[in-house]
Structure 1
């Protein structure tokens, strides 16, 4: 039977209280073509458990998992090998429902895990501190923009053309309600990132400059030069890292002058999972700690002098600050943070550097093989494990044709930027330690047929 906890009178009273005539008014911001007008086609109004199970199994069989085909997708979500020990440990009973606790005195183990996680993120990012994780990379990016506004008392933000368009869209959605002015731009199909254009745009009204590192085309921007220009005008540099494995080879953004470093932690310990849940990372300079969103776990001693852990700062809306909170979307995926931390612990600093070197080597092999094909041009002068190639025609057609041949050949820039025809020849290709020589050969053979 259906569970309907509210009566018609209950719903009418609630609508009257908030000043809405009908429940549909609560969905006014949802585009009309995205609303479901009636029952979902193909689903019976009721069915037995076995029938539902069979139906859902058939639907699931239509998916193609990352490990079932040569896989070269990236663009913010990456396939890496996750050691079996990660999954084994996170499924221990004391961890499986992990969440930043509201009663820290009875959750010392969870707090210690998050304390260690914060330490790892801070060292990875080169920042003084890091919080106990956030919802995902895109919302962490927006929180950094909002934080920069609180720090600088300004509201103009420059977004690099190399910033992932989904991160841009998230920031634009939130800025509609805050008054922040976001100056976004499209990427240019050039070997170098748009550093000079960004630097030229910084002025005395700029709150922050947001730069992805490496960027959406796989290029590596000069963070030090951008940081110097931003600081000269009193602005902050926000670095966005969508592929944390890259920091095994690249200098940490905080060391290069970034004031706030955010990113997506999915690459370490967290599978692709067809899109989530993922893990937002957030670090910054210590002097900004009271403007940092989310929660901060700290170390102290108890009444008997024993090492213990506490929630040092908790500036979110569900805690005591409520309307004075710095954020209301700083949900902490504690289990994903734990998986990240276990994977990082298993690798260690040396192991992370070795993993990064393997990733770069695999990407070099793919780039060399594709560049040898007639009509295919490598865009990048430098890259980590992701790069852009230019095809003779719209890359979306090539991606579909490759998929028909059982190869997930990359992300077409036309998919990310459908409004920008000048980018449609671009194909973003990613390799990792999971990319085999057989995968590369399959990609090259299939692309030969397609072109």
Structure 2
């Protein structure tokens, strides 16, 4: 038992200590129809045989780069320059993924300082941290921060917030005794979120562009929130949009959070990604995570340190701002390198290309009989209503070599009113031929 050293007696002792009768009992919460009951694999095989077997299994997947790809809904396919991967694999960066002994990793700290500066500029805020795990955990940390600042417990979540982000907030909030008022799904952008803001509200969480692609005017929401002493948390999942639309900070947001995967980080089967977090200077002492600061040493030389580290490792647990004990250092580095290569002008140009590509596709798709565009305004993602079940239509389009988007029902299972909605994204990687292939395939499927 070279790799499994525990004996039967060891396992029984551990199970007894946990309080369960068998290992299978540990998986009782997973529905039986979702469990894997063994894999059809040999007990042992040579390396070349294993490589061939895994290669055959991998070939059964439809890779994002192998067909026209229009999937988004929180994770986006963008071009990442080869320079990014080359630089992040340098040993100086790769081996100091996160600064546990910070002052001896000056290069990493300097990069994170630059990263924070970029995020502050992008979001229109005054201070940003050195990254979070991803956009969803950044969102719930923002809600918890708002509760600390306002001394209130109620969070209002827009119906345009990504359902998976909402689920993370709803999962963690009860542990702190907090209340969550999640508004119904809002694919038509008709919700009246102002009516839900009252004197008990701690924060209002609004995503723009929303999960359905709608651009939301944050200014009136911020005004109403501030009128009753609440905070506005602005969320985004597509960071490239900040190269074209007005920054959330300029619209009155108090905390801005989101996902930075689109810059420097590939899809990677769902991670690792990089959460972004920015706020006002006056709130900095309640900001979770790591914060890099610039200073000088005893000889007057420029240097970088971690500062205001009010995490559970450093101070009394009940006084910590969060238990975030690391950051997505390597992903943040990739973000910083890509953003530096783009520059302000390059990011704006990239954003315009994304928007133009999405407009072309939306116009072509909505011209098909039975297809309706739900968005009056959008960035590079929009929602269409199809004359049939969107999930079924997507499967038929896969058979024609097109990954058409994300059915809304996949994000919101069990909601029949969303069954005919498809969320579609078009970025700079989509060519005219890709868009034509999508339109032609959908036209055939709907015929």
TM-score after normalising by structure 2: 0.94
Deviation at 1:418, TM superposition (A): 2.2
Gaps of 5+ in 1: none
In structure 1, distance between residues paired with 2:190 and 2:104: 49
Deviation at 1:2, TM superposition (A): 3.5
Deviation at 1:50, TM superposition (A): 3.0
Deviation at 1:20, TM superposition (A): 3.5
In structure 1, distance between residues paired with 2:295 and 2:195: 46
Q: Is the 8 A contact 2:160 2:187 kept in 1?
A: no
Asked if 1:407 is matched to 2:402, the reply is: yes
Asked if 1:294 is matched to 2:292, the reply is: no
Encode CA deviations 1:98-144: one digit per residue, 9 max, x unaligned: 32212122110010010100110111111111111011111111111
1:281 alignment partner, one of 260, 276, 279 = 276
CA change 1:9–1:308 in 2 (3 A) is farther
- Aligned partner of 2:329 in structure 1 is 334
Q: Is the 8 A contact 2:290 2:326 kept in 1?
A: no
In structure 2, distance between residues paired with 1:45 and 1:185: 51
- Aligned partner of 1:43 in structure 2 is 41
Deviation at 1:323, TM superposition (A): 5.1
Local SS of the residue matching 2:65: helix
In structure 1, distance between residues paired with 2:138 and 2:360: 33
CA change 1:330–1:231 in 2 (3 A) is farther
Encode CA deviations 1:248-307: one digit per residue, 9 max, x unaligned: 111111111111111000000000111111111111111111211110010000010000
Q: Is the 8 A contact 1:401 1:450 kept in 2?
A: yes
Local SS of the residue matching 1:274: helix
Asked if 1:349 is matched to 2:347, the reply is: no
Encode CA deviations 1:64-122: one digit per residue, 9 max, x unaligned: 22121111110000111111111111111111233221212211001001010011011
In structure 2, distance between residues paired with 1:7 and 1:325: 41
In structure 1, distance between residues paired with 2:91 and 2:97: 13
Which residues of 2 match residues 233-312 of structure 1 at below 5 A? 233-312=228-307
- Aligned partner of 2:424 in structure 1 is 429
CA change 1:58–1:104 in 2 (3 A) is same
Asked if 1:221 is matched to 2:207, the reply is: no
In structure 2, distance between residues paired with 1:43 and 1:147: 48
Which residues of 2 match residues 13-32 of structure 1 at below 5 A? 20=19, 27=26, 30-32=29-31
Deviation at 1:388, TM superposition (A): 0.8
- Aligned partner of 2:70 in structure 1 is 72
Asked if 1:448 is matched to 2:420, the reply is: no
CA change 1:15–1:312 in 2 (3 A) is farther
In structure 2, distance between residues paired with 1:149 and 1:220: 26
Moved more, 115-124 or 6-15: 6-15
Asked if 1:393 is matched to 2:388, the reply is: yes
CA change 1:90–1:50 in 2 (3 A) is same
Deviation at 1:362, TM superposition (A): 0.4
CA change 1:225–1:108 in 2 (3 A) is same
Local SS of the residue matching 1:67: coil
Q: Is the 8 A contact 1:115 1:297 kept in 2?
A: yes
- Aligned partner of 1:102 in structure 2 is 100
In structure 2, distance between residues paired with 1:89 and 1:277: 18
In structure 2, distance between residues paired with 1:344 and 1:193: 35
Deviation at 1:186, TM superposition (A): 2.5
Local SS of the residue matching 1:72: coil
Local SS of the residue matching 2:304: strand
Q: Is the 8 A contact 1:217 1:388 kept in 2?
A: yes
Q: Is the 8 A contact 1:74 1:430 kept in 2?
A: yes
CA change 1:25–1:175 in 2 (3 A) is farther
Encode CA deviations 1:41-84: one digit per residue, 9 max, x unaligned: 21334333333322222222222221211111100001111111
- Aligned partner of 1:184 in structure 2 is 182
Encode CA deviations 1:182-202: one digit per residue, 9 max, x unaligned: 111222342x353xx211110
Gaps of 5+ in 2: none
Q: Which runs of 4+ in 1 moved over 6 A?
A: 7-17
In structure 2, distance between residues paired with 1:98 and 1:445: 49
2:379 alignment partner, one of 380, 384, 403 = 384
- Aligned partner of 2:201 in structure 1 is 206
Deviation at 1:223, TM superposition (A): 0.5
Encode CA deviations 1:315-356: one digit per residue, 9 max, x unaligned: 333445545432234641211100000011011111111110
* RMSD, aligned α-carbons: 2.2
